[in-house]
Structure 1
């Protein structure tokens, strides 16, 4: 791929193809985002891919020190030829090994000694994907900016945040069961 294809990146961040939509704003080093991420496959399986579309949105947050680096890594993965599988591998690697990407109490510990290049190399090692070439392409910045702009335009400030058919549902959270999510979506039963 010679240029970053924004529609292709958006496709890689989509699960399912149904008329009901759930936008899930995730931050790659957030433990609550990890908990939500861990329920999405079950949600889609139970709702049915023909009834539900889950759109992954990335919400970089400044209190997570390496949030911009990990967010860009996810988008770099999405730009790869098998972007959907690459996104799963990268998010899975980061969520599973969160302590390697987030300083203790957001401000201390060995993680502070890492450079962005070292963080990216660790994501590559854990995911088994070569991301550096895509990550370093200046055009990827457009995808990063799109995610930030989309979140701001929708009043998203924290992760995870959920939108059902374009409307924010502030009471929906990662601590809820998949059954509760299905109820909120009107897809239970």
Structure 2
């Protein structure tokens, strides 16, 4: 992977033989819980034993999902690459109420245009993504992430695959120790 995430915008941590694919929607509270386990899991498992590949999985019932998902992938096009995308996701999960509609269909954010969402991201994590958000590569990466999820039968998030197979025993409420045991890395 190049420092800018390459044309795929691949979000990869670790370099181990055990491959874990995470499909996360960037405004979903359940995905936010899972996301919080990323670095602790890698630290405990060892980056030489585990590779985590994150796929941004836009969900249409989260009304601003497409905008925020594209912003996360656009962040990989900045000089910070993957680390910038991580910062965006962390900021969105931390300030989730600023990126969602109440009950998926109402509330104060209903009049917020995409530019407001991008400004909130800039305010929350210090990254002005407007220029990279508008690049064709950001849209192409989002399409590839969505296609990869569909090709693997992923319909909801969070979903986890281990070595290419969906593992429904892993959930966002599980402790890192549970995940390590399920991965055979305890």
TM-score range, shorter chain: over 0.9
Moved over 3 A (4+): none
Write out aligned runs for 1:97-176 (5 A).
Answer: 97-176=95-174
Q: Tell me which residue corresponds to 2:91.
A: 93
Question: Shift of residue 4 of structure 1?
Answer: 8.7
Counterpart mapping for 1:1-189 below 5 A: 5-7=6-8, 9-10=9-10, 13-188=11-186
What is the RMSD of the two structures over their aligned residues, measured on CA atoms?
A: 1.3
Counterparts of 1:172 and 1:150, CA distance in 2: 20
TM-score between the two structures when normalised by the length of structure 2: 0.95
Shift of 1:171: 2.5
**Do 2:33 and 2:172's aligned partners in 1 also have CA atoms closer than 8 Å?**
yes
**Equivalent pair of 1:24/1:55 in contact (CA under 8 Å):** yes
- C-alpha separation in 2, matches of 1:157 and 1:143: 18
Count, aligned residues: 183
Q: Is the 8 A contact 1:4 1:140 kept in 2?
A: no
> 5+ residue gaps in structure 1?
none
Is the contact made by 1:4 and 1:139 (CA closer than 8 Å) also made in structure 2?
A: no
Q: Distance in 2 between matches of 1:172 and 1:139?
A: 32
